[in-house]
Each structure stands twice: as structure tokens, then as C-alpha cells.
Amino acid sequence: MGICTNRSIIVTGAGGGLGRAYALALAAEGAGVLVNDIRREAAEAVVDEIKAAGGAAAPSSDDITTMAGAARIVETAVTAFGDAHGVVNNAGIVRDRMFATMSEEEWDLVIKVHLKGHFCIANTLVKRWREQIKAGAKVDGRIVNTSSGAGLQGNIGQGNYSAAKGGIASLTLVQAAELARYGITANALAPAARTRMTEGPFGEVMKKPGDGRFDHYAPENVAPLVVWLCSPLSAGVTGKVFEVEGGKLSIATGWHTGPVRDKKARWNPAELSDVVAGLIAESPKAQKVYGT
């Protein structure tokens, strides 16, 4: 008996990299896994791996960025496993470009795949779960989103990606606040691992060591947290953004209101230079934007 036995989990972008690692780990802990990837052959290959290891899985290549596609994905999971208990929103793309030269298409596509893709399936599932509650059922639902260090502190050349990932972190906070009363948790990951998206900019840094040492950037290192977040064991944890890299695990602390100056009246623009300088001096220094 694994910690996800009798649970059905949808994993998007599961045809390779992190998504594949999540799907395999979830199945190993007893979950029925809906392997979604726009590359049908890649999704089917992961399903074959899971079944060969004795697990339960079904493929899907439907579009995560439309409500119609999301409905088909959820229905496929329900047909295969009888229900859907959670989603790991993992699918993503990059279109790196400096902000001054970024095209509208490059902006729109990254925002669509990441932000709208996170919305569609989770929204479809939440509506299903609410109907189950209205019918008298108890729900123990899971939403696991994917943010990024780029979303938490920014990354040079990735204005579109950073904006999308920052939006996902904020969306997670709102989902957690609104959905707790239904028995639904929402958490996010900011993983550092070797994937198709990191092969270009970080290929040399993240390459697999050839001498038998711990593979720090292996996608499989992130999977245990995902499995735990999808399991009943994580029911009391929601609204968190977990940073995961190798064997390191932390929870991002996010924005907080800093030092305050209250004049008890309207400020004169000319006097704000000294006020702002004082507030900056007293505030914790932010982490540097990646690439600076």
C-alpha cells in the first residue's frame, strides 16, 4: 500500500522531464495517473513504463489551455480510474527574449500555456468537487502548481516566463484561501532540475555526473514532494510555495509589508526622497534577479 493508493492524479506535461518523474513516482505509490502531454507518443511511452512496473495509468494529449480540452482531460481520468482527486500542473514552455525585443506572440504564448493552463484544469476539477460536496460526498482534493525561481525573483531574458510563474504563485495563495472550506489544498513548486526547458541555458551546470555521485539536478529528486502533496498526508498544508533542488527543500516566504512611515497627512512629492531612502535602508534586501 502506497501513500496514494486509491487516488487518481492528473499530471500535465508528463511525457518527459519532471512530469514523467512525477507520474512514475505517483504510480509507484499506488495512484492511478492520467499522463497528459501534447506529444501523444511521449504520453503513451510513460503509460507503458508505469504499466510495465505494475502501476495504473492512462494517456491524454488534450489541450490544457482550453476549457474544452481540460474537460476532456478530467473526463478521461474519471473514465479510467472512477474519479479524479488532484492535478499536478507541470506543463510549460519558454520563449526567452530580452524585454525590449520580445514579441506579442512570445508573450501571449508563454502566459497562455502557464497561467491559463494552470487555470483550466484546476477550475474544471474544482467545479466537479463542489458538485460532489453538494451531493454529500467528502472531498480531499489536491492542486499542485508549478512556479519557479524566475517567478519568485525574476530572471533576465525571461520577462514573460517570470511574469507567468509569479502569477502562478499568487494564484496558489488565492486558491488556498478560497478552497480550504471544500477540503481542497493548493500548493506550488519552484523546482530546480534538468528538463528540456533547462537544457539550453543550464545544460552544462545541470548535466548528470558520470562518476556515480548524487545526481543533484535529477527530476526524480523533486518527485517525492509531489507525491506527498498529492497524498492524504498533506491535508493540513496549503498556500505554500516549496523550493526544491537536489536534496534541499525550503518554503518561500513571499512578500511582507515592510517598515512604515505615516505622516498622518498627504506627502509632498519633494520630501519623499529621504523617506523612501530610509524605508529602503530598513527593509530586508531582496534576492537578486537571476542573471544580474
**Residues with catalytic function:** 148, 161, 165
What pairs with residue 194 in β-bridges? Answer: none
Which amino acid does the sequence have at 84? Answer: A
DSSP 8-state code for residue 13: T
Q: The cell 491524454 sits on which residue?
A: 60
What are 96's three cell numbers? 526567452
Q: How far is CA 292 from CA 145, 210, 252, 287, in A?
A: 27, 31, 20, 11
What pairs with residue 36 in β-bridges? Answer: 12, 60
**Cβ contact 85:8 at 8 Å:** yes
Length of the chain: 292
Per-residue burial over 153-192, b if 16 or more Cβ lie within 10 Å, else e, is bbbebbbbbbbbbbbbbebbbebbeebeebebbbbbbbbb
Q: How far is CA 99 from CA 103, 111, 113, 159, 179, in A?
A: 9, 14, 19, 6, 35
- Bridge-based pairing of strands 248-251 and 241-245 is antiparallel
